[in-house]
Amino acid sequence: MSYRTALSEVLAGLAGPAAEAAAVRGRFPRGAVTALGRAGLLGLTVSTEFGGGGRGLREAVDVVARTAPVCPATAAVLRSHYTAVAVIEAHGGPWLRAEIAAGRHLASLALAESEEEQAGEGDGPEADSRLLVPGSVATRSGEVVALRARKQRVVAAGEADLYVWSSRPLAAPDGLTLWAVPAHAPDLFVPARPSVAGPRGSATSTVFADPVLVPAEAMLGADGAGLDVVLRTVLPWLLELRAAADVRRPPVLDPALDPARDPGGTRRPAGTLAAS
């Protein structure tokens, strides 16, 4: 079965009461996420070596674009999930990649930080720039790292199984460091009342760590190298998937017809912080 056929079946079940529950009552689309996992769509972009679909950003854009008109909350969850998985595919371990491929793990991003909660979805250059300067503190003691932070605009907060988390480096002089933080880890706190950010039902909220303890091996990539990952992976995926979630713009699956390319066929930056 193709991923589009599988997605059509999931969306057919999502339309109606399920989508209304998310849009009107703000209920997280847990049934949709479970169905997406069983259909192989949460693992769409994981390597076939680990049981995933072996697809890339182009197919992820297609899935998000087709989901957004039916349920914006589910599209927002997929946007964050696919971006987080792109990081995990490059730097995560085999067990975690296999769990995502099997549809048993929903991933999300816990990167943004600011002093005050922002109204609205928090998209745009200002929001993106906050991904580059984490205030989170990471302290290592033996093989355990303590992370202290207040992460803003986390999609699927309290619903995801794993957060791709940023902090200041442990020892590197600059940059940032990324971590795979299990959502069930003790001392992670999500307010009972979600913030106003994000589509209704997407469980977009703040996540507090005071602190959360993770093994040192939970580091994704090298200490201090996370800034390059954010610039070259996170932001390009977020910008493309954000555009796909805009139901006013249909997905462009033929590169020759992509208006974001110049006449010479070179991809123009999708936003102000595209990878350099």
pLDDT digits (tens, 9 = 90+) for 191-246: 876 555 778 889 999 999 989 999 999 999 999 999 999 999 999 999 999 999 88
45-59 residue pLDDT tens:
999 999 999 999 999
Judging by DSSP bridges, how do beta strands 137-141 and 144-154 pair with one another?
antiparallel
Model confidence at 272, in pLDDT bands (50, 70, 90)? very low
What is the model's pLDDT at position 140? 97
Bigger pLDDT: 123 vs 218? 218
Q: Are 28 and 157 in contact (CB under 8 A)?
A: no
Bigger pLDDT: 245 vs 7? 7
Query: ∠183-187-191 over CA atoms, to 5°?
Result: 75
Instruction: Give, in order, the Cα–Cα distances in Å from 167 to each of 63, 149, 245.
Output: 30, 8, 28
Model confidence at 133, in pLDDT bands (50, 70, 90)? confident
What is the model's pLDDT at position 276? 24
Q: Are 237 and 197 in contact (CB under 8 A)?
A: no
Is 273 within a domain?
no
Residue 195: how many other CB atoms lie within 10 Å: 18
Residue 43 CA to residue 263 CA, distance in Å, equals 34
Bigger pLDDT: 151 vs 22? 151
Average of per-residue pLDDT values in the chain: 84
Q: Are 206 and 152 in contact (CB under 8 A)?
A: yes
Which residues constitute the domain of residue 13? 3-257
Is 215 within a domain?
yes
pLDDT at 32 over 80: yes
- Bridge partner residues of 220 (DSSP): 178
Is 189 within a domain?
yes
Is 275 within a domain?
no
What is the model's pLDDT at position 134? 78
Locate tokens 């971590």: which residue? Answer: 179
Model confidence at 130, in pLDDT bands (50, 70, 90)? low
Is 97 within a domain?
yes
What is the model's pLDDT at position 213? 96
CATH number, residue 13: 2.40.110.10
pLDDT at 268 over 70: no
Q: Are 203 and 155 in contact (CB under 8 A)?
A: yes
Into how many domains does the chain fold? 1
Locate tokens 């994981």: which residue? Answer: 46
Give the distance from CA 179 to its chain's centroid.
Answer: 13
Model confidence at 136, in pLDDT bands (50, 70, 90)? confident
Query: ∠249-253-258 over CA atoms, to 5°?
Result: 65
Is 272 within a domain?
no
Is 210 within a domain?
yes
149-166 residue pLDDT tens:
999 999 999 999 999 999
Helices H / strands E in the chain, number of each: 9, 8
What is the model's pLDDT at position 126? 53
What 8-state DSSP symbol labels residue 114? Answer: -
Is 271 within a domain?
no
- Both tokens of 232, joined, read 């070259």
If phi > 0 it is left, if psi is from -120 to 50 it is alpha, else beta; for residue 153 that is: left
- Both tokens of 11, joined, read 């969306």
